[in-house]
């Protein structure tokens, strides 16, 4: 299953959600691949720690060679790195990805990622794609490559307004490029049960028919700590409340 985690709004927890759900998948014995398409590389750093700065290969190499002809080409499988965690692998981001975007766009390389990930799916049955906070070439490539989409939502009025335009953009892309894409659900992040506004916003979204998943992720300092030590919560704090919430979310998605 190829899943993409996407929202045009930044700071909603895309990388945290991607990596923590992927870590749970890997811990359950499924070879799992994280594809980091965000030039900031947050997922790459989260999973690889300090080793992230010295990786020789990345998705930059893959996209760059789609623009050239000739031999000596590496497949996407050649660019995969094993993380320190069993069954968990990463296709790393690179800050220079942005420099390729205009050429990739103009030469219509939008389907290359989908073709390559379809070939990898036999090796990695679970693929989780992290995206930049913009509807650009890389996020569109991810949405075309994916079968299901998760939308992080951080319970404020700005996120709600962004959600409407996001849904329209995904629907248009699905109609034009990937009619198999399914919005699997909205993932409520940074949820505070003590505050009235988050629950009010969720209730309104549900009343409007949005697919809000019934497993909310709380705000916790443990998440920041796990980023600092480059350990997903499943490994860093396996019994913490937020870890258990991620596990509940995973079960909803994967029917485990």
Q: Say what the pTM is.
A: 0.96
Q: So what's the pLDDT on residue 196?
A: 86
> Which residue from 198, 100, 185, 109 is spatially nearest to 151, judged by alpha carbons?
185
Bridge partners of 35? Answer: 91, 129
Assigned token pair, 254: 């994967």
**pLDDT category, 225, cuts 50, 70, 90?**
very high
Least confident of 37-51, 140-154, 159-173: 159-173
Assigned token pair, 114: 């989908």
Q: So what's the pLDDT on residue 17?
A: 98
Q: What is the pLDDT of residues 8-25, one digit of tens each?
A: 888 889 999 999 999 999
- Residue ranges and CATH numbers for the domains of the chain are 2-254 (3.40.50.300)
User: What distance in Å separates the CA atoms of residue 199 and residue 171, rounded to the nearest whole number?
Assistant: 26
Least confident of 41-45, 66-70, 131-135, 231-235: 66-70
């Amino acid at each position: 299953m190829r899943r993409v985690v996407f929202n045009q709004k930044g700071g909603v927890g895309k990388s945290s959600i991607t990596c923590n759900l992927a870590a749970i998948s890997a811990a359950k014995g499924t070879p799992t691949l994280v594809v980091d398409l965000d030039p900031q590389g947050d997922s790459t750093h989260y999973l690889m720690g300090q080793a992230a700065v010295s990786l020789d290969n990345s998705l930059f190499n893959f996209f760059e060679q789609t623009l050239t002809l000739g031999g000596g080409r590496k497949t996407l499988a050649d660019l995969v790195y094993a993380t320190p965690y069993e069954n968990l692998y990463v296709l790393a981001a690179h800050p220079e990805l942005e420099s390729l975007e205009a050429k990739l766009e103009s030469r219509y390389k939008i389907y290359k990622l989908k073709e390559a990930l379809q070939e990898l799916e036999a090796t990695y049955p679970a693929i989780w794609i992290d995206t930049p906070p913009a509807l650009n070439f890389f996020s569109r490539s991810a949405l075309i490559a994916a079968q299901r989409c998760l939308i992080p939502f951080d319970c404020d009025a700005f996120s709600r307004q962004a959600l409407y335009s996001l849904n329209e953009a995904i629907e248009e892309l699905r109609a034009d490029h990937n009619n198999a894409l399914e919005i699997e659900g909205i993932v409520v992040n940074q949820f505070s049960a003590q505050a009235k506004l988050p629950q009010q916003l969720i209730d309104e979204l549900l009343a409007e028919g949005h697919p809000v998943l019934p497993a909310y992720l709380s705000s916790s300092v443990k998440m920041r700590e796990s980023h600092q030590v480059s350990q997903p919560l499943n490994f860093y704090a396996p019994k913490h409340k937020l870890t258990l919430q991620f596990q509940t979310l995973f079960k909803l998605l994967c029917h485990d």
